[in-house]
Amino acid sequence: MHALLAPFVQGVELAGDIRADMTRLLTRHGYPKTVGHCVRVAAEAKRLAQKFGQDQGIAEMAGWLHDVSAVIPLERRITLAQQLGIEVLAEEVTAPMILHQKLSAVMAREIFQITSEPILSAIGCHTTLKADASALDKIVFVADKIAWDGEGSPPYLEAILAAVERSLDQAAWCYLDYLWQQRETLRVSVVHPWFVEAYQQLAPIMTART
């Protein structure tokens, strides 16, 4: 484990059961709500994996760990990411919250011993998606949006649930386009370049179908 991450697991017994260990870690730091979100995202990712012919266990594991970096205080994320060798983009300096996807991937590898690149990739882009996203990347991205951690139901929920019945690309596009249309009124007016690249890559495919 990287020495910089060791303080976050101090006092947490890691037994090798990913779901239980994730629960212990987040609960120890006062994030029981995030535990619930991770469990819901994992369940939705497993459901989507079954629907789209992907490995259910891998999808579920990525869902469990996708927000594990909630334990890192927002004000420490930029410096810690840089110290861990993570590339920090200008947009992530402006909105450090977005860094949690990259930090969660590193924590999954360093703390939970996840070596599967597909899992790490899916965790690492679950907020923004990215260009050339794999099916697993899209599954965890969509699952995170369906099982969101806000109050009530998200305004796009009905549309994304309908879209996922048509295709995984349709579901991913549903959220990408929703957020793209809202980009001028976002609370933090930052559009992440990975998001833009994913949007631009899917745009001609999706618009050709309409």
Gap between the Cα atoms of 55 and 150, Å rounded: 28
CB 37 within 8 Å of CB 149: yes
Spatial distance between the Cα atoms of 103 and 187, rounded to a whole number of angstroms: 22
Query: CA–CA separation, 8 vs 183, rounded Å?
Result: 34
Looking at this protein, which amino acid is placed at residue 209?
A: R
- Sorted by where each begins, the domain ranges of the chain are 6-151
CA 134 to chain centre: 14
Residue 199 and residue 193: Cα distance in Å, rounded? 10
| Tens digit of pLDDT at every position of the chain (210 positions) | 899 999 999 999 999 999 999 999 999 999 999 999 999 999 999 999 999 999 999 999 999 999 999 999 999 999 999 999 999 999 999 999 999 999 999 999 999 999 999 999 999 999 999 999 999 999 999 999 999 877 778 889 999 999 999 999 999 999 999 999 888 776 555 789 999 999 999 988 787 665
Domain over 6-151 is classified CATH 1.10.1740.10: no
- 55 to 37, 48, 176, 180: CA distances (angstroms): 21, 10, 24, 30
pTM > 0.75: yes or no? yes
CB 204: neighbour CB atoms within 10 A?
9
Please state whether 133 falls in left (phi above 0), alpha (psi between -120 and 50) or beta.
beta
Q: How far is it, in rounded angstroms, from Cα 15 to Cα 18?
A: 8
